[in-house]
Amino acid sequence: MAFSDHAMKGAVAGILVGMLVISGCSSTSTSNATDDTLRSAARQRDAREGEVYLLRGLANVFSQGMDVIGERLQRRGVNARVYNHSAWRTLADDVLARSKRFRGVSYPIIIMGHSLGGNATMQMAKYLGDNGIKVSYAVSFDPTITTFVGPNVGEVINYYLPNSDHTNVVKQSSGFTGSLRNVDVTVMPGVTHLNVEKNDQLQTGVIRTTMRLAKQREPEEGRGEAP
């Protein structure tokens, strides 16, 4: 490698500042978080319960592994959608709004993200918890900062390449009783900040856990059997 993952993360953060200035801090996502019509149509095709939020990192260009995870889950009948990390608050507020309606949210809620999306994953999970929403599974792929999870989260895993001062770990807040693992992936040959979320072994692991949590959807009256 020409320079370390720590230096790479610093460069990514520097580029982000410039791009936010240029873009006026606008967010980009591959799906519209507030389009009930599209969401309803998508859920008709889902064979499993749950909502999976996949959060990309900088500028949507360094986290294509999140798209692959999304595609792999969609092929298995899971409602998985990919967004830019900056959309996390909008997505969370949409979940909160729908939670006030009968069956407005399909549980379990699962969140995953890479780099800045890894930061946003834990921020979104904690924000939902602060507002009474359970998150079953949260995964970060090499975040850039220390984040915290609360008692609303069931399973947490952080695949990370440690910064020089180990400031990119996930820590538990007061009351957390779930499962939390920070897994140092520097022992995996060839894994870097820019490809950790693309690693097939790690992808397969998080998909396996997601499939365990996302139960088969019960057929709805008038719909016949789930696909």
Tell me if residue 148 falls in helix, strand or coil: strand
pLDDT (tens, 9 = 90+) of the chain, 227 residues, equals: 344 555 555 555 444 434 433 333 333 344 444 445 445 445 556 899 999 999 999 888 889 999 999 999 999 999 999 999 999 999 999 999 999 999 999 999 999 999 999 999 999 999 999 999 999 999 999 999 999 999 999 999 999 999 988 899 999 999 999 999 999 999 999 999 999 999 999 999 999 999 999 999 876 554 443 33
Which tokens sit at 219? 């057929």
Continuous segment of H or E residues that includes residue 130: helix 116-130
* CATH number belonging to the domain at 5-213, selected among 3.30.70, 2.30.38, 1.10.8, 3.40.50: 3.40.50
3-state secondary structure of 34: coil
C-alpha 197/C-alpha 64 separation (Å) is 8
Query: Would you state the structure tokens that stand for residue 173, as one six-digit string?
Result: 């807040």
